[in-house]
Amino acid sequence: MTSVVPIEAARPAAQSALPRVGVLLVNLGTPDTANAQGVRVYLKEFLSDARVIEDQGLIWKLVLNGIILNTRPRAKARDYLKIWNTEKNESPLKTITRSQGDKLAAALSSHAHVVVDWAMRYGNPSIKAGIDGLIAKGCERILTVPLYPQYSASTSATVCDEVFRVLASLRNQPTLRVTPPYYEDEAYIDALAISIETHLSTLSFAPELIVASFHGMPKSYVEKGDPYQSHCIATTAALRRRLGMDETKLLLTFQSRFGFDEWLQPYTDKTMERLAKEGVRRLAVVTPGFSADCLETLEEIAQENAEIFTHNGGEEFSAIPCLNDSDPGMDVIRTLVLRELQGWI
């Protein structure tokens, strides 16, 4: 007679009560090295994604391979070098995302069957390595956490695409959950407000106004139905309410324009120039759409846009750090993850 081993008995003792759960934090990605070759590899993967550049036709392929990948990597490598974490020899985005993973793991340590890891959508550590690692540790369930407060197809959806691609090759798939966008979640708005107030209290000047600068995207993507712009507007409106500021004191702008198409407006760089020319002398910029400081905040905002502002007559400029692995920042990630793990822990 064949003996049937109960499923519970097949699992290691410590897991017997609940199936093991993996939590995978995912951010955008970044080059492995701050040189032209590293940036080229990264940009090729990134800009070949049809969620990022939707028209991947022959003209784009010629432009990408013939022009962009021959010119941009050298220029961007210089920018990456300005912000590079030389101690760890990696970009700040990687250092901060790892720390967010470590701190989340510590916060969830009372749940012995939960394993936390982190990954990058482009570059390393890859989503495939993250999922393979969690499965190897016995995770039967995986919660994917795209670290984007505002949803966009070019960020959140492409994380899911990649997760599904990895799962597509598996016979025995883990059960999957994905955290939703959290653009007006109370924990997130509270954390932003606390981090802004804390930072302002350290400054030797009082900003006349604050600019909330979000990563931009082509206007056509929004016209085709991407909710990203409306999520940025909702975040800014909630933050205004929380801070008691109106739209003249907390402005909304979009940065990081790429290519020749029209992107979401108002543009951050043009706004810096306009405000300085109109007589604003003291300014702070917050970047609520980035959950970790990266090239777009540390170089583009804190250096390039600071320079645009002062060059046009501004006097004091301060870039407010992203939520990163700060206590308020970790409160947001922990709240989000615990909410979505309900029933699994």
Ligand X SMILES: C=CC1=C(C)c2cc3[nH]c(cc4nc(cc5[nH]c(cc1n2)c(C)c5CCC(=O)O)C(CCC(=O)O)=C4C)c(C)c3C=C
**293 lies in the binding site for Fe ion (CB under 5 A):** no
Enter the tokens of residue 145.
């956490």
Dihedral (CA of 336, 340, 343, 345) sign: negative
Q: How far is the CB of 206 from ligand X (least distance, A)?
A: 29
Dmax of the chain from CA atoms?
88
Query: Residue 71 corresponds to which amino acid?
Result: T
Residue 215 in the binding site for ligand X (CB under 6 A): yes
Q: Which is nearer to ligand X, 30 or 236 (CB)?
A: 30
Angle at 198 between CA 196 and CA 204, to 5 degrees: 95
Tell me the window of 62-70, 80-88, 238-246, 255-263 that interacts with Fe ion (CB under 5 A). Answer: 255-263
Tell me which residues in 278-337 interact with ligand X (CB under 6 A): 289-290, 294-296
Among positions 133, 205, 243, 258, the unique one binding ligand X when judged by CB under 6 A: 258
The reply to whether 217 sits near ligand X by the rule CB under 6 A is yes
Annotated binding site for Fe(2+): 215, 296
> Bridge partners of 120?
27, 126
DSSP 168-187: HT-SSPPEEEEPPP-TT-HH
The yes or no reply on residue 155 touching ligand X (CB under 6 A) is yes
Print the binding letters for residues 33-62 with ligand X: x by CB under 6 A, - otherwise.
----------x--------xx---------
Which residues does the annotation place in the binding site?
A: 215, 296
Task: Provide the token pair at 267.
Answer: 């543009």
Of these, 95, 97, 144, 154, which contacts ligand X (CB under 6 A)? 154
CB-nearer residue toward ligand X: 53 or 276: 53
Using CB under 5 A, pick the residue from 144, 150, 256, 287 that binds Fe ion: 256
Block residue for tokens 């350290």: 202
Residue spans of beta strands (DSSP E) within 101-260: 114-122, 141-146, 175-178, 209-215, 250-255
Residue 74 CA: distances (Å) to CA of 71, 81, 82, 274, 342: 6, 11, 13, 30, 46
Binding interface with ligand X (CB under 6 A): 28, 30, 43, 52-53, 72, 76, 91, 93, 148, 152, 154-155, 215, 217, 228, 256, 258, 289-290, 294-296
Binding interface with Fe ion (CB under 5 A): 256, 296, 300
